[in-house]
Amino acid sequence: MKPQSLCIFFLLHFFALLCTAASEHEAPGTGGTIVFTTLGRLNYAWDIYTLPTSDPPSPSNELRVTDGESVNFNGHFPSTSPSSVLSLLHNRSLIRTPGPQAPPPLQLVYVTERNGMPNIYYDALYYGAPGSTRSRSALEVPVRLQAPLLGLEESKNRVSMKDRPSLSGENLIYVSTHEDPGEPRTSWAAVYSTHLGTGLTRRLTPSGIADFSPAVSPSGVWTAVASYGKEGWGGEVEELSTDIYVFLTRDGTHRVKVVEHGGWPCWVDDSTLYFHRRSEDQWISVYKATFPKDKPVSTESVTIQRVTPPGLHAFTPATSPGNHKFIAVATRRSNSSFRHIELFDTVKNEFIELTRHVSPTTHHLNPFISPDSARVGYHKCRGESNGAKATQLLLENVKSPVPNLSLFRMYGSFPSFSPAGDRIAYVDFPGVYVVNRDGSNQRQVFHLNAFGSAWDPVRKGIVYTSAGPEFSSESTEVDIVSINVDDVEQSNYKRLTIDGKNNAFPSPSPDGKRIVFRSGRSGHKNLYIMDAIEGETSWIERLTDGPWTDTMCNWSPDGDWIAFSSDRHDPGSGSFELYMIHPNGTGLRRLLRSGSSGRVNHPSFRPDGKLLVFTTDYGGISAEPISNPHHYQPYGEIFTMKLDGSDLKRLTHNSYEDGTPTWAPLYINPVDVEWPRKGECAFEDCHWLNEMPGRGIKLVGPWGLAKPQCGVF
């Protein structure tokens, strides 16, 4: 190589390295990186499985349908012919059918979370193709056709939750959260219809209304939903107080309430649907609604009949067209801590257990039945069999709706970054851990129960936390401690508060000399500031004073402001809103009103001090909680706003509990980060399903109690 060419080569290589470094270590423009926690979500290694309804259930005849890698759930077996579906897909050039000799495929429409965002996919599985044998795992199937059904939305970079998809003719009916209703504490969930050929999307839910769990009738004419109507969400976190509404699938008109108190509707024919509700005896049961044929349909004219008996919880029913012989349900029985799928014979009034015979110690969720009634589908943990992906993520990239802003869901709670951005401290109850940002060198640095974490901005390796029980009273013994995470000895921490009166949520000043924290020492949880090195034995001063709760404080990078969450506008109501105050106690102002009984928690300043990130129920609830694993508060989403209260932006869209967000001091490229932990799929069922009415029984799940992220400790 000539000297001139060699010089040019090294110059180009040098500038390429500079560009790479800039993209990795500098927050571009108004962007940055936010890391947050979703309760249990990184353990949701879900795939969709199916069992025949007529054969005795066994592991040998259970078929995994989805890819064994993504998070796949809430499936639907379409009745539309495969050729019709394939002819409508935009990426037909990527589709290779197995040929005319192949038998009809098993079709599936489902929600999948992959590439950082939710979408709805279509799979066609030719598991009986010539020259093959029937495989237990879909990964062993010779031919799999797979395509996203909402590709146009992806190309527009429109991030939203997707739920309960079904294919009706050439239209996909589903829930999405991409439209802001403009009101605090109001759900963004609405039902839409998208034509697969043209991409034309129509909103079927009226403006200002939220709909959940849509089901299309066998004829495709009608769609049923669970909805609050104009009343709106009242803050329920267990069974929702929704009603059942029916409207025309083509345009959402002729909307009428047909059932008071019900959720998760499904149709047998155009005049019969099933749903679940909590009965007067407190068992959650499945009911049947029969529409009249000789008069207008209304809550007065519809006949309601209880289907499943007391003695167990039965919910999320599934039906198939014209099948008046059996339905599928999820159940919780008093002799099991696990949710299972069963058939219920509506003629003999008896249950037929399915999944307990296949995976007795695994939760199975949200059944659905094939149009010919031959198969029942559901989702569950895939485990490590049949080559399924078993790695676990430290940081999962989540698609951001804001340019130059990367989002990550992290394993563990209360993450915080070291000043250099190379290490992350977090809580994995009961202790505090530190791990390198690349997933290496994970260590437990504090062995006692703790919550919250914050790095000292000046003294290297010092992390502050709250040691003691969470969700406790003002007088409970909780203290601020500083931990030297680089001290290999176990006596590596120093107690900074001495009165033990619920001292929590420490946040150091940018010069590392002071700490603001929450304390219940006066009988109310207010804010205090003390010496960061020696603690309150050196000095302490009170910042706020009143018969309310001020908590979850965060000091701004320029030292001028402290953001915090408070119920001072309505003490004791459970409603928390976002406030800021100067460290000298002046300038108090409220930034965000969360709506009636709403919550805004865990504020954190961006490194340049111009934005706050926080978790809130401002976006309401997005799905029926019973359709998911346990979340204490299944409504927290991550939002940002400017310090003057303007430019409110929703960043996350899901039906989980997102909480404890923090900013990274540098920009991190939106790529998943794995770590050397064995992948696992373990989560808890809804805790309120553990209660067995009238029997004094409360079952305890096999993994103990998870900890909520969004609530007030």
- On whether the CB atoms of residues 146 and 67 are closer than 8 A, the answer is yes
Q: What pLDDT shows up at residue 474? A: 80
Please give the structure tokens belonging to residue 92: 């037909």
Q: How far apart are CA 631 and CA 615, in angstroms?
A: 15
Q: What is the DSSP letter of 688?
A: G
- On whether the CB atoms of residues 606 and 663 are closer than 8 A, the answer is yes
Q: What pLDDT shows up at residue 13? A: 42
Q: What pLDDT shows up at residue 633? A: 77
Q: How far apart are CA 621 and CA 656, in angstroms?
A: 9
Torsion of CA 178, 179, 180, 181, to 10 degrees: -140
Residue 413 exposed, middle or buried by CB count within 10 Å (0-12, 13-18, 19+): buried
Q: What pLDDT shows up at residue 128? A: 61
Residues contacting residue 34 through CB under 8 Å, at least 6 positions apart: 405, 406, 407, 408, 613, 638, 640, 651, 661, 662, 663, 664
- On whether the CB atoms of residues 189 and 146 are closer than 8 A, the answer is no
Q: What value, to the nearest 5°, has the Cα angle with vertex 599 and ends 595 and 604?
A: 120
Q: How far apart are CA 268 and CA 369, in angstroms?
A: 11
Residue-wise pLDDT for 343-352, tens only, equals 999 999 999 9
DSSP track, 23-83: HHHS--TT-EEEEEEETTGGG--EEEEEEESSSPP-GGG-EE-S-SSSEEEEEE---S-HH
Q: What pLDDT shows up at residue 19? A: 40
Say which residue, 135 or 543, is predicted with more confidence.
543
Which residue bears the tokens 């970079």? 157
Q: How far apart are CA 24 and CA 57, in angstroms?
A: 51
Residue-wise pLDDT for 263-303, tens only, equals 999 999 999 999 999 999 999 999 999 999 889 999 999 99
* Strand duo 32-38 + 405-410: pairing: parallel
Mean pLDDT in residue range 148-174: 84
Mean pLDDT in residue range 356-377: 97
Domains and CATH numbers, the chain: 389-689 (2.120.10.30)
Q: What pLDDT shows up at residue 236? A: 86
Q: What pLDDT shows up at residue 12? A: 39
Residue-wise pLDDT for 434-474, tens only, equals 999 999 999 999 999 999 999 999 999 999 999 998 877 78
Mean pLDDT in residue range 113-121: 93
The region that residue 83 occupies, defined by phi over 0 for left and psi between -120 and 50 for alpha, beta otherwise, is alpha
Radius of gyration of the chain (CA): 27
- On whether the CB atoms of residues 618 and 598 are closer than 8 A, the answer is yes
pLDDT at residue 16 greater than cutoff 80: no
Q: What pLDDT shows up at residue 40? A: 85
As beta bridge partners, residue 162 has 176
pLDDT at residue 540 greater than cutoff 70: yes
Q: What pLDDT shows up at residue 39? A: 84
Number of Cβ atoms within 10 Å of the Cβ of 23: 12
pLDDT at residue 706 greater than cutoff 50: no
Residue 143: which pLDDT band, with cuts at 50, 70 and 90? confident
What would the 3-class secondary structure string for 106-154 be? EEEEEEEEECCEEEEEEEEEECCCCCCCCCCEHHHCCEEEEEECCHHHH
Backbone angles phi, psi at 44, to 5 degrees: -85, 75
Mean pLDDT in residue range 477-494: 88
Say which residue, 23 or 333, is predicted with more confidence.
333
Which residue bears the tokens 């437990």? 444
What would the 3-class secondary structure string for 609-639 be? CCEEEEEECCCCCCCCHHHCCCCCCCCCEEE
Q: Residue type for 298, please?
A: S
DSSP track, 206-243: PTT--EEEEEE-TTSSEEEEEE-TTS-----SSS---E
Q: What pLDDT shows up at residue 387? A: 46
Mean pLDDT in residue range 3-24: 40
pLDDT at residue 14 greater than cutoff 70: no
Q: What pLDDT shows up at residue 490? A: 59
Q: How far apart are CA 261 and CA 45, in angstroms?
A: 33
* Strand duo 263-269 + 256-259: pairing: unpaired
Q: What is the DSSP letter of 84?
A: H
Q: What pLDDT shows up at residue 375? A: 97
Please give the structure tokens belonging to residue 243: 């009603």
Please give the structure tokens belonging to residue 435: 């791990």
Please give the structure tokens belonging to residue 650: 């929703």
CA-to-CA separations, 35 to 422, 425, 482, 614, 673, in angstroms, rounded:
14, 12, 22, 11, 12
CA-to-CA separations, 379 to 65, 483, 514, 583, in angstroms, rounded:
10, 42, 50, 51
Q: How far apart are CA 593 and CA 233, in angstroms?
A: 17
Q: For all residues of the chain together, what is the average pLDDT? A: 88
Q: What pLDDT shows up at residue 35? A: 98
The region that residue 41 occupies, defined by phi over 0 for left and psi between -120 and 50 for alpha, beta otherwise, is alpha
Which residue bears the tokens 């504490």? 185
CA-wise closest residue to 634 among 100, 193, 189, 253: 189
- On whether the CB atoms of residues 417 and 407 are closer than 8 A, the answer is no
Q: What pLDDT shows up at residue 233? A: 87
CA-wise closest residue to 335 among 317, 351, 353, 312: 312
What do you get for the CA distance between the two ends of the chain, in Å?
66
As beta bridge partners, residue 397 has 408
Q: What pLDDT shows up at residue 712? A: 42
Q: What pLDDT shows up at residue 71? A: 94
pLDDT above 90 coverage of the chain, percent: 72
Q: What pLDDT shows up at residue 80? A: 86
Residues contacting residue 590 through CB under 8 Å, at least 6 positions apart: 569, 577, 578, 579
Q: How far apart are CA 594 and CA 591, in angstroms?
A: 10
pLDDT at residue 261 greater than cutoff 70: yes
Q: What pLDDT shows up at residue 88? A: 83
Ranking 109-118, 327-336, 673-682 by mean pLDDT, the lowest is 673-682
Q: What pLDDT shows up at residue 520? A: 95
pTM reported for the whole predicted model: 0.91
Ranking 23-27, 78-82, 163-167, 694-698 by mean pLDDT, the lowest is 23-27
Q: What pLDDT shows up at residue 6? A: 38
As beta bridge partners, residue 65 has none
- Coil/strand/helix, residue 152: helix
- On whether the CB atoms of residues 362 and 683 are closer than 8 A, the answer is no
Q: What pLDDT shows up at residue 129? A: 47
Please give the structure tokens belonging to residue 181: 């209703």
- On whether the CB atoms of residues 572 and 565 are closer than 8 A, the answer is no
Mean pLDDT in residue range 584-593: 94
Mean pLDDT in residue range 43-68: 94
